[in-house]
């Protein structure tokens, strides 16, 4: 009866990596707290918007992860990959042209 294997649950998603660190993280936390306080004192629709933005900044500072920053970093990496492929293709075309001329 000891042949029964225990199945461990698997995670569906991996936790996001921290991409906000140091002073940026401290500034996000402090700015979020200030914005929430100002929004609560202001009240109304604009106060609610300020509280929401402050909450996003506070969450960014506490978790150390920014989805927007991840998006832009990934976009920059994709653009660099495309640039290197274009440069490689240009070099190949240049080599083909010099080999054809010989």
How far apart CA 62 and CA 57 sit, in angstroms, is 9
Give the distance from CA 16 to its chain's centroid: 9
Q: Which of 16, 52, 15 is nearest to 35 (CA)?
A: 52
Contact call for residues 20 and 60 (beta carbons, < 8 A): yes
How far apart CA 53 and CA 67 sit, in angstroms, is 14
Digitized pLDDT (tens) for each residue of the chain, 102 residues in all: 556 666 665 666 666 678 788 899 999 999 999 999 999 999 999 999 999 999 999 999 999 888 888 888 889 999 999 999 999 999 999 988 888 776
Structure tokens at 81: 């990959």
């Amino acid at each position: 009866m000891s042949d029964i294997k225990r199945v461990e649950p698997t995670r569906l998603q991996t936790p996001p990596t921290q991409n906000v660190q140091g002073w940026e993280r401290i500034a996000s936390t402090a700015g979020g707290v200030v914005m929430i306080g100002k929004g609560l004192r202001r009240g109304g629709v604009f106060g609610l918007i300020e509280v929401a933005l402050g909450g996003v900044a506070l969450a960014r500072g506490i978790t150390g992860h920014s989805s927007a920053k991840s998006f832009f970093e990934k976009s920059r990496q994709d653009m660099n990959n495309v640039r290197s492929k274009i440069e490689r293709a240009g070099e190949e075309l240049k080599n083909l042209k010099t080999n054809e001329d010989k």
